[in-house]
Amino acid sequence: MYDLVIRNATIVDGTGQPGFQGDLAVQGGKIAAVGTLPVDAAAIREIDAHGHLLTPGWVDVHSHMDGQATWDPLCSPAANHGITTLIMGNCGIGFAPCEPN
């Protein structure tokens, strides 16, 4: 039995692949399974995430990747370290909107 199963989410896993519909299971504080889980997969708690994004990875809530995101589509090395979501515009370093030149 899993501790938590999140079902029917649009999963964006940080690999650069398109998001996909699926489920995620957590056991002992760690991700135990990602994909389409059997309907009878038991869990202590279950969440229906239909219509919501699920980004199993780290969320960097204070990045300074604003400029780098314009030339590096993978935002290296953040993605290499498991960061799947970047919050940008911190400390007044917002690059958008701006003129192309």
Q: What is the pLDDT along the chain (101 residues), one digit of tens a residue?
A: 999 999 999 998 767 789 999 999 999 988 999 999 998 999 999 999 999 999 887 788 888 888 888 888 888 888 777 787 888 887 776 666 667 66
Task: Give the list of residues 6+ apart from residue 59 with CB closer than 8 angstroms, or none.
Answer: 83, 84, 85, 87
Q: What is the pTM of this model?
A: 0.63
